[in-house]
A and B are shown apart, each in its own frame.
Chain A
Amino acid sequence: MSLRVIGRRIVAGAVPLALLVSGCASPSPTMSDFQTKTRTTARAVAGTAAVAQVSAQAWSRGQLTDAYADTLVTEAEDDVSSIIQTYDSRQPPTAAAVALKGRLDKPLQDISSALTDLRIALRRNDRRGVAQAVAALRQPLTTLGPLQQVGL
């Protein structure tokens, strides 16, 4: 067997193995898996939005520069958008999972919108708008609380 053939076989075996191990684009085949995904999504979004909230408050107190606050909030907005996209790509396996997804969708969208508003207000140097956007984050963050414990 030539080295080239051996090389091809190694690649042919290693690529599916790497994909399997890294879990790329794997579905959520059971309710338990979907609950875990929901829980981690809720936690990730809550943690990211909380940083944006704290950053905006620090900016209002004059502790953060405009550029730094904008960077933090823009990154939070991008991260939340990416997390939501990943969660939406998962197929809910049962009717109960569809209902669970429905419970999470609303606060996720509210947080995403509030972060966009926050970024716009920060870039406009609009203190009132920042305060409103920070306030708008409170309710969906509270709703996410129980969802961070789903399945435990």
Chain B
Amino acid sequence: MKRIFAVALGLVTAIGGFVDIGNLVTSGVTGARFSMSLTWAIVVGTIGMTVYAEMAGRVAAVAGRPVFHVVRERLGVRFGLFNLLACCLLNLLTLAAEIGGIGMALELVSDVSYLLWVPLIALALWGALWRLPFKVIENLFGVIGLSLLVFIVALFWLPVDWGSLTSSALHPSVPPTEAYTTYFFYAVSLIGACLVPYQIIFFSSGGVEEGWTRSSMFQMRLNTIVGFPLGGVLSIAIMATSAVVLQPLGTDVGHLSQVGLPVALALGKVGLAFAIVGFFAATFAAGAEATLSTGYAVSQYFGWAWGKWLRPSSAPQFHVICLITMILGTMLVLTTIDPITITLVAVVLGAAAIPLTFLPVLVIANDRDYLGDQVNGRFANVMGVVFLAVTVVVSVVTLPLLFWTRGGA
């Protein structure tokens, strides 16, 4: 019974933890602008994330190696350092976006500007990282994040033309009022929102923190192969509610409040409460994960002691890096840069940087010295190569699209 509970908890956490501010914003924005015609981008991003998270989890469980050990070893010290800097910058942007997202969720409840909440949020995040055990951070907010399932319920309460919605998803086309470049810019942003480097780093380092072994493989695979795709379904549901309510109004989504509006129209204040709790939990968990991921990445690269299970005196560099990351992320939000803009920039740049994280994972997942009989099979390799190619293409087109479309304007 205890084992079944643990398995179910892991699965629920994977679903709830998949969605962060990037998924919330990009799904809401694209649903309102392109209806369901960019569903394929969420599907591509989710499958890619599933394939590589499974590989990274397997490397962690069998070889006991987290991602940045692998990155430094396989990419070399210099290229690894470039990867580390890119990763830290992205984590910083992501953290700032998540802190902004938590603030916006609190603003929706309190009517107090999100900026006034930011220092308190930073303290709460740091307190959670300092005091709460790893398992609690991962599971508690993952489970509460399931409140976002209210978007799926809302979809069935709204007056939906299912034929049109399905057709838009299955026969994607660029709306006549939109340019092809803008369409592909948002496709890249959706893929980037699913394939987030910090999640891969957190997933594999978390596996090492939790002491995964070969016997943990079933749980790990269930989380990635079932949990992440269900998280992707949640993103599609957010896109669909936006398509049903906001697209007919001709709205360009630019605020988190607008993403939650369809839920209120379908389910009233009760539904809205679930949505806001979900926003809070998803962004809070992701903020903690982005902070820890930076500590993990830097410490693993330099070979320092790392891990939440270690007391600060045993892993001082790790804890100091987490603290510095938190301070910088907070300062970035306090510059009053729009958190939604930071989110879009973070997911797009994340899409550009993801091959740097994926390539070494793919290489080591084929290394018998580390994984023995658990190396990639033919299917995993085909999927891995295909998605690596996809991420390389995405990486190449991202910056030109960002400038060409003026950030999707």
Contact = CB atoms under 8 A, between A and B. Distances in A.
Contacts of B251: 47-48, 50-51
A21 B252 contact: no
B172 interface: no
A31 interface: no
Interface in A68-97: 68, 70-72, 75, 79
Interface string B27-42: 0000000000000000
Contacts of B254: 75, 79
A67 B110 contact: yes
Interface string A24-59: 000000000000000000011011101100110010
B261 interface: yes
Given A46-B250, A58-B264, A63-B265, A75 B257 contact: yes
A22 interface: yes
A18 interface: yes
Contacts of A72: 255, 257-258, 261
A7 interface: no
A18 B269 CA distance: 45
A98 B214 CA distance: 73
B249 A50 contact: yes
Contacts of B257: 68, 71-72, 75
Interface residues of B, number: 25
B261 A71 contact: no
A70 B111 contact: yes
B109 interface: yes
Given A51-B246, A51-B249, A79-B254, A67 B109 contact: yes
Nearest to B406: A22
B264 A63 contact: yes
B269 A63 contact: yes
A44 B253 CA distance: 10
B108 A67 contact: yes
B403 A21 contact: yes
Contact of B406 (A23, A71, A75): A23
A66 interface: yes
A65 B249 contact: no
A22 B405 CA distance: 8
B272 A64 contact: yes
A89 B251 CA distance: 23
A79 B264 CA distance: 21
A63 B266 CA distance: 9
A58 B249 CA distance: 15
Interface string B232-268: 0000000000000110011110110110110011001
A102 interface: no
Contacts of A71: 107-108, 111, 255, 257
Nearest to A48: B251
B404 interface: yes
B404 A21 contact: yes
B50 to A, nearest CB: 34
B250 A47 contact: yes
A23 B268 CA distance: 42
A66 B269 CA distance: 10
Nearest to B258: A51
A103 B109 CA distance: 39
A55 B254 CA distance: 15
A102 B252 CA distance: 25
A58 B404 contact: no
Given A18-B403, A22-B406, A72-B257, A58 B252 contact: no
Nearest to A70: B111
A102 B265 CA distance: 36
B182 to A, nearest CB: 12
A65 B268 CA distance: 9
A13 interface: no
Contact of A22 (B111, B246, B250, B403): B403
Nearest to A72: B257
15 contacts: A18-B403, A50-B251, A51-B246, A51-B249, A54-B249, A54-B261, A55-B261, A62-B269, A63-B272, A64-B272, A65-B109, A67-B108, A67-B110, A68-B109, A70-B111
Given A65-B109, A72-B257, 14 more contacts: A18-B403, A22-B403, A44-B252, A51-B246, A58-B261, A63-B265, A63-B268, A64-B269, A64-B272, A67-B109, A68-B109, A71-B111, A75-B254, A79-B254
